[in-house]
């Protein structure tokens, strides 16, 4: 319970306080896994949203965790963008082992280096002014649940008089297109990552993360999520499904759209009528 209070302070963060974000993206040359490379389209969406504009004052670093692909030239088109770094692997990794590498890295970084991690996939679209809206949303709501999400493919529940936030049952969480948490949470994820139950039932990274958090924090029943989603899964045949025949993935229940701005910096409260 003492650890949970670190994550759930129930205090908004002042808008004037600059936060430092680490955007983590596990990635792989999908063509080597019989899928489609779209990470360049993800970064085009970032660019179109204004993330790399000179007038953007949100501090962030994008850290790619490469899965040990034989050919990493698929990353060449995105190395032109600022604040992008890559951690390579000297051996091939699958989605589970590469994401473990990510969490293992996160548990080692100094706690004051970043305020929040934004864990994303390499096949997503984002809304207009994504990072500016994410910054305001995080300052409003990220301290009210152990982790949160700006991508929501599952059922949610209304919060009275609130426009862009809803609640979701933590046990129903899946999809890591835009998951937000404090770096310290990785310490509670790494020890259980290869739990025998997870191994026996072939858990994916999102469910390993979710159920690791559930075990350490059984009282954390719900999470704050954006509504509508600020991020969308591309869902265009890029999904890597291993032996399964399904070639597409999940989608948000409601996505605000690539060209739409949630404008949280203007108003996130529905006035009483």
Model pLDDT, residue 240: 54
Chain centre to alpha carbon of residue 122: 10
d(CA 51, CA 44): 10
- Dump pLDDT digits (tens) for 105-140: 999 999 899 999 999 999 999 999 999 999 999 999
The helix, strand and coil proportions of the chain, stated in percent and rounded to the nearest 5, come to 30, 20, 50
- Dump pLDDT digits (tens) for 14-39: 998 999 999 999 999 999 998 889 99
Count the alpha carbons within 13 Å of 172 in the hemisphere toward its beta carbon: 13
* Residue the block writes with tokens 């599952």: 154
Locate the domains of the chain by residue range: 2-233
Model pLDDT, residue 51: 97
Low-confidence spans in the chain with pLDDT less than 70:
1-2, 236-248, 265-273
Task: Fill in the DSSP letter of residue 114.
Answer: -
Q: Tally Cβ neighbours within 10 Å of residue 25.
A: 24
* Residue the block writes with tokens 């030239």: 73
> 62: Cβ–Cβ under 8 A, 6 or more apart, which residues?
23, 25, 81, 83, 84, 85
d(CA 153, CA 134): 18
Q: CATH code for 2-233? A: 3.90.550.10
Query: What pTM, to 2 d.p., does this model score?
Result: 0.94
Encoded tokens for 273: 């009528």
Count the alpha carbons within 13 Å of 57 in the hemisphere toward its beta carbon: 5
Asked whether 173 and 211 are in contact (CB, 8 A), the reply is no
Model pLDDT, residue 243: 44
d(CA 7, CA 10): 9
Encoded tokens for 222: 């719900």
d(CA 109, CA 32): 31
């Amino acid at each position: 319970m003492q650890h949970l209070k670190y994550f759930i302070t129930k205090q908004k963060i002042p808008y004037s306080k600059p936060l430092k974000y680490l955007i983590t993206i596990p990635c792989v040359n999908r063509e080597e896994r019989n899928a489609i490379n779209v990470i360049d389209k993800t970064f085009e969406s970032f660019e179109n949203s204004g993330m790399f504009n000179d007038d953007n004052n949100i501090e962030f670093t994008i850290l790619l965790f490469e899965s040990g692909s034989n050919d990493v030239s698929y990353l060449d088109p995105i190395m032109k963008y600022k604040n992008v770094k890559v951690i390579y692997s000297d051996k091939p990794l699958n989605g589970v082992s590469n994401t473990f590498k990510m969490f293992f890295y996160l548990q080692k970084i100094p706690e004051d280096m970043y305020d929040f991690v934004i864990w994303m996939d390499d096949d997503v679209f984002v809304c207009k002014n994504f990072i500016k809206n994410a910054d305001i949303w995080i300052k409003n709501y990220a301290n009210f649940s152990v982790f949160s999400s700006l991508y929501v493919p599952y059922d949610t529940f209304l919060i009275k008089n609130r426009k862009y936030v809803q609640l979701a049952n933590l046990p129903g969480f899946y999809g890591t297109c835009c998951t937000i948490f404090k770096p310290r949470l990785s310490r509670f994820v790494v020890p259980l990552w290869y739990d025998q139950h997870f191994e026996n039932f072939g858990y994916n990274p999102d469910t390993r993360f979710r159920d690791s958090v559930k075990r350490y924090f059984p009282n954390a029943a719900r999470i704050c999520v954006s509504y509508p989603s600020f991020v969308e899964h591309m869902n265009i045949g890029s999904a890597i499904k291993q032996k399964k025949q399904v070639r597409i993935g999940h989608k948000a229940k409601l996505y605000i759209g690539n060209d739409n701005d949630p404008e949280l910096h203007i108003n996130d409260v529905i006035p009483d009528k």
